[in-house]
Amino acid sequence: MALLEIQDLKVRFRTRYGPVTALDGVSMHFEAGETLGVVGESGCGKSITALSVMGLVPSPPGSVDGGSIRLADEELIGAPDRRLRNLRGSEIAMIFQEPMTSLNPVFTAGDQIAEAIMLHQDVSKSEAFERAIALLDRVGIPEARRRASDYPHQLSGGMRQRVMIAMAVSCQPKVLIADEPTTALDVTVQAQIFELLNDIQQEFGTAIILITHDMGAIAEMADRVAVMYAGRVIEEGRADDILDQPLHPYSRGLIACIPALGKETDEEGRPPPLAEIPGVVPPLHLLGDGCAFKDRCNHRYGPCDARIPVLTDATAHPVACHAAEEGRI
């Protein structure tokens, strides 16, 4: 049985353009000790999926209109706020993209971690602070005891993200959601953070949900991948399958458009021109009939305008695309 299972999740938002469906029947499952990568551009519903799991969809204007989220057989949708508050931090924890804005600037790093520990465990303040120091040491902050009394602005970006991770793993959560954890960081620091997340996963058997728009990060971190577009999962499978044989035109585009190292080059060392996905993600209130990707797709044909494609098992791995289902691409 899956550790965490999302089924047919629907989230709507009231906007000035009328109600829009931010998540339309999203299903995913997460296993202990495994990393699921959730990929897509901004506005595809990746972060809303994460916030739903945390029970943090802002309401109003948002509302969870259906589906279920089960953590080890416990239904989270409709669970009392008290219960959700208990789960957040202890069972499910989250690290955000921008560590500077998610840390409180007027408390020291050690105090903030100690606060998280004291919320969930019955320990004294000094004991919590000692544990915070141990955690800072664990996430690779040099001179942890001294750094524990530093304020966030005294730390570098990489160290701030390490503090966030220390806080997130302070109660050994079963599920760790990492929402673009390295987008604001240098590549060298990104490599360090990825390694740290992998170490933590091995040590505690944490299920990691990695939200990113970078297929390079997916290659390095993910065991399985769910590709999202306009509030739906449009392709899912093992990371290797998706990277080597992407079926959906959008997944193919996402892989072809990154200027990653390791692609072929000509004799001058010039890589081939980048493939483009034309256009942008459509605003949710302007989604017409049929496939949401059709306007950006070069495999569009009859059924794409008529019906929204659903995930099918008829292909090598599940994909929601008429053309792929018919074997046209």
Interface residues with another protein (CB under 8 A)?
35, 41-42, 142, 156-159, 186-192, 195, 198, 213-217, 219-223, 238-240, 243, 253-255, 257-263, 265, 267-271, 273-278, 280
Tokens of 146: 């001294």
**Amino acid present at 40:** G
In terms of CB distance, is 89 or 246 closer to another protein?
Answer: 246
What's the CA gap between 314 and 319, in Å, rounded? 9
In what side-by-side order are the strands of the sheet with 62-71?
A: 18-30, 4-15, 62-71, 74-75
Nearest-CA neighbor of 17 among 284, 289, 291, 292?
284
**Amino acid present at 175:** V
The kind and range of the H/E element at 20 are strand 18-30
In terms of CB distance, is 70 or 213 closer to another protein?
Answer: 213
Is residue 250 within 8 A of residue 227, CB to CB? The reply is: yes
In terms of CB distance, is 91 or 179 closer to another protein?
Answer: 179
Helix/strand/coil for 164: helix
Nearest distance in Å: CB 220, another protein: 5
> Which residue's entry shows tokens 């999926």?
49
In terms of CB distance, is 81 or 268 closer to another protein?
Answer: 268
In terms of CB distance, is 149 or 156 closer to another protein?
Answer: 156
Nearest distance in Å: CB 326, another protein: 25
Nearest distance in Å: CB 178, another protein: 14
Nearest distance in Å: CB 218, another protein: 9
Q: At what angle do helices 81-90 and 109-120 cross, to 10 degrees?
A: 130
In terms of CB distance, is 8 or 240 closer to another protein?
Answer: 240
Instruction: Give exposure, 135-144, as e/b (b: 16+ Cβ within 10 Å).
Output: bbbbbbbeeb
Nearest distance in Å: CB 67, another protein: 27
What's the CA gap between 160 and 120, in Å, rounded? 22
Nearest distance in Å: CB 265, another protein: 7
In terms of CB distance, is 64 or 284 closer to another protein?
Answer: 284
Nearest distance in Å: CB 266, another protein: 9
Tokens of 67: 């589906």
